[in-house]
Amino acid sequence: MNKYTLDTDTVSYDEKINALIIIDQTRLPNNTEFLTLTGDKDIWDAIYHLKVRGAPAIGVAAAIGLYVVMSGAGVTEKEKFLKLLHEEKEYLNSSRPTAVNLSWALNRMEERALKLKDMPVSDILAALKDEALDIKAEDTDMCRRIGENALTLLKKGDGLLTHCNAGQLATSKYGTATSAMYLGYEREYDFKIYCDETRPLLQGARLTAYELKSAGLDVTLLCDNMVSSIMRQGKINAVLVGCDRVAGNGDVANKIGTSVVATVAARYGIPFYVCAPSSTIDPATRTGDDIVIEQRPGEEVTRMWYEKPMAPENINVYNPAFDITDNELISAIITERGIFRAPYDFK
């Protein structure tokens, strides 16, 4: 399949072959390829290597993946089943430490199983399947509600900037930061959308530009270091980004470069909105300083996208996957439950 549309599932479950199906996002935008995953190592690898990425999509994939692994394990003795479930949950959770949706979805799956620990393994498996599919359906509904809430802060003809990919490819449908863009497109809001390329993995160029253009939206791609230039020209009326974790005080962790965009937006008085599912809010993490930041391989910066290395051999590379945007730079955090502003109270 080489054509992407809004009807394309980012993550799905194939009941006929009991498999997790994902779009391999490392192959976009040139090829739309689907991966059929059944083994825990393949699912772990898909999450770690960003074949499936975006906090909500990771959570959905992990939930479906955990069910696929457990239903294919052939374990019928209950104590062994629950022990293996916990081990597989912990294993999959180790693939990406920052995105809280991963642990949230996996913990939710295990909790469902433990509530039924007095039932036969077959009943537990049936419940796990329902739970995984519920997580996927809830994600789609959540994204649409985020978009509806975000639209109340926007007006027709606005220029909107987004960073990285918080679009449909990062969720089950609509996306978080892009949900208002899609809904606005349906309602003829005539948004002018700008997306950062998002170095070093280029999710903005490979994914956001790809999905928005494929859906027919008016989108322009720009390099990350061009943000100040376009804001100074007055072309940006609001910034909408996703996030991977929201701390209790409203600090957020999102793709590296987000804090730069927020800082420049503050300089030009442009509203900076974080669009996030409530499951991304982590009150147990007090501030952004307590969020673990994943470090990625240096080759992503020095050679990944080039025929020949573009930096000196053995150069030291600093390559964090995320940065922390302080709450003082955030105009509002938009969730499916409503719009939150400082001082943050997520109850």
Catalytic (active-site) positions:
244
Contacting residues for 135 by C-beta, under 8 A, at least 6 apart: 59, 60, 63, 105, 108
DSSP E strand stretches across 256-304: 272-275, 281-282
144 touches 167 (CB < 8 A): no
Four-point Cα dihedral 205, 176, 193, 188, nearest 10: 140
By C-alpha distance, which of 94, 62, 58, 80 is closest to 124? 80
Measured CA to CA, the distance from residue 240 to residue 179 in angstroms comes to 10
Q: Kindly provide the b/e burial profile for residues 238-267, where b requires at least 16 CB atoms within 10 angstroms of the residue's own CB.
A: bbbbbbbbbbbbbbbbbbbbbbbbbebbee
What is the number of other CB atoms lying within 10 angstroms of the CB of residue 286? Answer: 13
C-beta separation of 51 from 21 below 8 A? no
- Contact predicate 275/150, CB 8 Å: yes
Between strands 19-23 and 34-37, the pairing is antiparallel
